Amino acid sequence: METIRERGQFRYVRPVPPKAATGRTAQVYAQLAQDFGMARMAVFLTLSPAADVLAATWAMLRESLLAGEAPRAGKEVVALGVSLANKCPFCVAAHTTLLHATGDHRLAETIAAGGVPDDPAHAELLAWAKERGGREPFVSAHSPEYVGTALAFHFINRMASALLTENLLPGNLQKSRLVRSVGGRAMSRTVRRRLPPGASLPLIADLAGRPEPVWAEGTPIGAAYAALRTVARAGGELLAHPARVAVVEAVAAWDGSHPPLGSAWLDDLPMEDRAGARLALLAALAPYRVTDADVAAWHGSRTDQDLVRLFAFGAITATEHAETLITRAPAGERS
């Protein structure tokens, strides 16, 4: 296995280069370049060994964050809030830059610095995103977009933290406020476009995601989330049944904190199941703690596709846990 240094941003997988991509992967790359304005995005490149995971993740992000009627700045606040809560420096840097691209430079840097936005509406959105739910600070018509954005980043944060370094730009240039601001300005025209909903659905039409979530049923976001849930859950098949159950039960009991992960929960598993179960649980609860040794203990002769799928299983298990918390607000507390 190559080392982190040899692969730059990519820790453990060899992405499919855009020029070599075919089929579904090539179609995702093309739509990504058109709608996001970037032909190469590390967080999607690193998913490319598993084309269905790549497509469903892209569809979920596109339909919730990029398309729709809710203000893009508000959704970027949610993406940034979730990324901060999940301790994903790569995504924090990316969405600070994208918030700059909406034109609200003060808002971007205030949140990046750990501050509270001056605008009460943005402050409420940020708190909602960080706290994983509560009273929804948006109108009901926008609920699928905001909830979908939050869940998209609960999944993406975990995949990015597990599979990428924190370097959005060479030399950690993303830590420079000037670089973030200039980068945002360069992307402003693309970010401020209004995209039509549903354009990503042909990419996932054969993935048979069912059922759609109640909070987004009948919308492109609902179809995208159902597809993501289906393909990501399938990664659990790489684990023996007792290991899958152990991961699901550990996540269900999780309180959202970032505790040191011991190995006591592995004690009842056969030795040969522990490495894979540990990787999946790390992806769910603390992906920033995945180490070369953790991956080497399981990866062995398995493929990059297997590794992406295993991490996706852990990530979707945690995302579904977040979904339960985010959507459990009593009717009187939901707009």
pLDDT tens-place string over residues 222-269: 999 999 999 999 999 999 999 999 999 999 988 877 656 566 667 778
What pLDDT digit, counting tens, does each position of 107-134 carry?
988 998 889 999 999 999 999 999 987 8
Q: What is the pLDDT of residue 179?
A: 53
166: pLDDT confidence band, cut at 50, 70 and 90? low
Q: Are 48 and 58 in contact (CB under 8 A)?
A: no
Q: Which of 35-39, 55-59, 84-88, 212-216 has the lowest mean pLDDT?
A: 35-39
Q: Which two tokens stand for residue 15?
A: 């992405």
Taking phi over 0 as left and psi of -120 to 50 as alpha, with beta for the rest, 236 belongs to alpha
Q: To the nearest whole percent, how much of the chain has pLDDT over 70?
A: 85
Distance CA(22)–CA(12), nearest Å, equals 22
pLDDT at position 62 is: 97
Distance CA 79, CA 41 (A): 16
Which of 42-56, 169-183, 313-327 comes out lowest in average pLDDT?
Answer: 169-183
Name the residue with higher pLDDT: 186 or 328.
328
pLDDT of residue 20: 94
Question: At residue 164, what are phi and psi to the nearest 5 degrees?
Answer: -120, 155
Is 221 a residue whose pLDDT tops 70? yes
Q: Are the beta carbons of 121 and 76 closer than 8 angstroms? A: no
**DSSP labels for 205-254?**
TTS---SPPGGGTTSHHHHHHHHHHHHHHGGGGGS-HHHHHHHHHHHHT-
pTM: predicted TM-score of the whole model, two decimal places:
0.90
- Domains, the chain, with CATH or none: 4-232 (1.20.1290.10), 235-326 (no CATH)
Q: How many whole angstroms separate alpha carbon 172 and alpha carbon 152? A: 25
Encode pLDDT of 293-314 as tens digits: 999 999 888 999 999 999 999 9
The residue whose two tokens read 């980043």 is 153
* The token pair that represents 296 in the structure block: 């080497």
Q: Which residues are catalytic?
A: 91
Q: Which is more confident, 268 or 274?
A: 274
**Residue 169: what residue type?**
L
Report pLDDT for 106: 87
Q: What is the mean pLDDT of residues 140-151?
A: 96
Given a cut of 80, whether residue 32 has pLDDT beyond it is yes
Predicted local confidence at residue 167, as pLDDT: 61
